[in-house]
Amino acid sequence: MMRTSLWQLRRSLCKRCVASKPADTISADDNMLCKVGMHRGRPLQDLVAEDPRYCRWMLRMAEDPTSCNALRQNAAWLGKHAPHLKEPHGHNRGTDMLVRGGKHDGKSMAKVLSEDPWYCRWVLQAAKAGNASLNVEEMAAWLAENAQHLEEDGVCASGHNHRGRPLSELVVHDPSYCHWILRTAQDQDSTPGVQVQAAWLMENAPHLKELPFVRTGAYKGVPLVQVAAEDPRWCRFVMQQPKARSQGFAQSAAWLRKNVPQLLDVREVAGSAASADKSGFRSAEKLQQADGLEIRDDDGAIDEIRQKFFKRHGKLFVVRFGKHRMKTFQRTVEEAPRYVRWVEQLVAAGGPRTALSVNFELLAAFARQQRSEEHITEKTAPTHLEELRQPLPDALPDAFAHKAAVEAWKGRCGGAAYGGSEEIVEHIRAPGTAALTEGSSEQLDMASPSAVFLKKLETFLKRIRKWDTEFLCIGKNAAEVFNVPKPEEVVPRITANLDYFSVNYAVCLAVFALTSIVVYPQLLVLVCVFSGLWYGLLTRPNHMRLQIANALLTKRHLIYALGSLNALVVLVFYRMMIFAIIGASLMFVLLHAGLHAVPANAKGKVAEEEGSEQTAPIV
């Protein structure tokens, strides 16, 4: 006991001596060896590069006054030769801090920010999720103070070619790369980073996925449908080139020849092709500035093409100039209403016809169309593109709205119920009649089947009687509700109950059928096989033909053949089960209908009571 106490006293005295000993004795050897821990015997210079976390641990432990002399010597060497490991963390991080954990462990945040900004954005997103570690929260706090541009620029690319560049910049300068991101994100093995970038592109640049776009030249990144609407002369120039000068040029020409072949029928531009630039692309303003030449095209045909694409894809058109460059019309109208109003004022002021003015005219037209759709009682958006070249008035033409309504009414009435389009238009313009737009015409065509189906479904549900109080009569006297009828009352009672509980009986039969299918696996196989065959046959077009040898079979012949095969298989292999199920279900229905007293609400009983009142003797 005494020996143990003396040993403890000696140990405490040694600790006090070590604590009072100065710690600034630094080894002169640059390759000082680690004297403590799991890396004992390894050069500290190697540990600084391979395991900086362990080096930081030694620095923190050396601050304890009770630490051993060997640890203090290692910490002194690290403080001299690796001072960056001693930088403060947490709230006292100063102008820089070190990454603690992850693939950039030991590096300074400033270096990681310059080399891998995508990792920094991931840190910010992980910190916002709410379940991040303390190290991630500290790094996110440092980034919030020293790299505010990461949140302002949105999502950035993570590939080798454009690492760290905002996607908003790549949409303008490299739309093909953005399109590659959208395609890659559809693969099942795509990385989370690609998925995040694709989600941003789908929200901010949907035109790159929904529409084909120009790959190179002055219209890079602009949808081809928009180029056809803004500059049909450039499209015609592309289509007339005998040989494509690049792959992007060839893709644009192929799409235009397939979707806008009527541009080749428009009258040629008067003048030479000297205004074309070196890349082979020329815009409308260059054509108009041709020396001494006057452009005279078939404006009616061009406006028809322009109107077609504007009405169909106007929301995916993009702004080509200014601070909202390459944003879709839809997003610009939603996010920058003041900018849109300024554009409308600029269009109303008029001016020379340039690419800027044409793009702004379409944007102003789309904004007015959006406002008109919000107020459905007002006239629809401007439709005739001839109006877009002038200051857009508040009263917009509605010819296309009436045309859509006329086509809708012709489809509903067989084209002859109203005698002519003028009469239909007058009917639409009549007071109290709702104006039909292009979108409402589609709703008119699809509303009839859905309305009929909903009405039938509502009628079907109304005919379901209450299961507890009427069908099973729970809580009532069973002797009064379920009883054996007289021989002359059997048929009238069954008839009345079958009519009154018809939907309930149908549900019971369905339950019997489903139960039998589940109980007998053979029936389940039969139902699955023939359901697939019937679905495949009934979804074929009515004009289908199938030739077997010299015989030509139509869809009706195939239906008869499949029905016969179905009945034959059922009768040969499953007749006992089928007949047993049918017999049990019909027995249940007939017993319930025969023993259940006719409800008071049944038509037969009401008529019987009325008849008995009329034939009763008068006293």
Q: Give per-residue pLDDT as tens, 140-162.
A: 888 887 776 666 556 777 777 77
Predicted pLDDT at 96: 64
Same domain, 450 and 495: no
Whether residue 93 has pLDDT greater than 70: no
Same domain, 222 and 368: yes
Q: What string of DSSP letters covers 538-573?
A: HTS-TT-EEEETTEEEEHHHHHHHHHHHHHHHHHHH
d(CA 516, CA 487): 34
Asked if the structure places residue 301 within a domain, the reply is: yes
Tell me whether residue 178 is exposed, middle or buried, using C-beta atoms within 10 angstroms of its C-beta: 0 to 12, 13 to 18, 19 or more. Answer: buried
Asked if the structure places residue 175 within a domain, the reply is: no
Nearest to 229 by CA among 211, 249, 203: 211
Higher pLDDT, 249 or 584: 584
Asked if the structure places residue 309 within a domain, the reply is: yes
Same domain, 264 and 375: yes
Same domain, 489 and 456: no
Predicted pLDDT at 9: 60
Same domain, 566 and 515: yes
Tell me whether residue 498 is exposed, middle or buried, using C-beta atoms within 10 angstroms of its C-beta: 0 to 12, 13 to 18, 19 or more. Answer: middle
Q: Which of 101-105, 126-130, 308-312, 441-445 bottoms out in mean pLDDT, i.e. has the lowest? A: 441-445
Predicted pLDDT at 291: 42
Mean pLDDT of all residues in 530-546 = 84
Q: Which of 29, 64, 86 is the last residue of a domain?
A: 86
Mean pLDDT rounded to a whole number for the chain = 71
Same domain, 455 and 377: no
Residue 545 main-chain phi, psi, to 5 deg: -135, 140
- Tens of pLDDT, residue by residue over 475-501, are 777 666 778 888 888 888 888 888 888
Predicted pLDDT at 325: 81
Enclosing domain of residue 37: 20-86
Q: Which of 151-165, 417-431, 531-545 bottoms out in mean pLDDT, i.e. has the lowest? A: 417-431
Same domain, 594 and 483: yes
Q: Which of 86, 106, 136 is the last residue of a domain?
A: 86
Residue 166 main-chain phi, psi, to 5 deg: -65, 145
- Tens of pLDDT, residue by residue over 546-578, are 777 777 788 888 898 989 998 898 888 877 888
Asked if the structure places residue 4 within a domain, the reply is: no
How many folded domains does the chain comprise?
4
Same domain, 251 and 330: yes
Predicted pLDDT at 14: 52
Predicted pLDDT at 267: 60
Enter the pTM of the model: 0.37
Same domain, 239 and 382: yes
Residue 175 CB partners (closer than 8 Å, separation 6+):
205, 208, 213, 215, 220, 221
Q: Which of 4-13, 53-62, 182-191, 291-300 bottoms out in mean pLDDT, i.e. has the lowest? A: 291-300
Residue 266 CB partners (closer than 8 Å, separation 6+):
232, 236, 297, 298, 301, 302
Mean pLDDT of all residues in 497-514 = 84
Tell me the percentage of the chain whose pLDDT exceeds 70.
69
Whether residue 279 has pLDDT greater than 50: no
Same domain, 264 and 302: yes
- Tens of pLDDT, residue by residue over 597-613, are 777 766 555 455 445 54
Asked if the structure places residue 169 within a domain, the reply is: no
Tell me the percentage of the chain whose pLDDT exceeds 90.
0
Same domain, 367 and 416: no
Tell me whether residue 231 is exposed, middle or buried, using C-beta atoms within 10 angstroms of its C-beta: 0 to 12, 13 to 18, 19 or more. Answer: buried
Mean pLDDT of all residues in 19-29 = 44
Asked if the structure places residue 176 within a domain, the reply is: no
Q: Which of 66, 86, 106 is the last residue of a domain?
A: 86
Q: Which of 129-143, 500-514, 532-546 bottoms out in mean pLDDT, i.e. has the lowest? A: 129-143
- Tens of pLDDT, residue by residue over 182-233, are 888 888 777 877 888 888 888 888 888 888 888 877 788 888 888 888 887 7
Predicted pLDDT at 602: 67
- Tens of pLDDT, residue by residue over 354-406, are 888 888 888 888 888 888 877 654 444 444 444 444 444 443 344 444 444 44
Same domain, 313 and 425: no
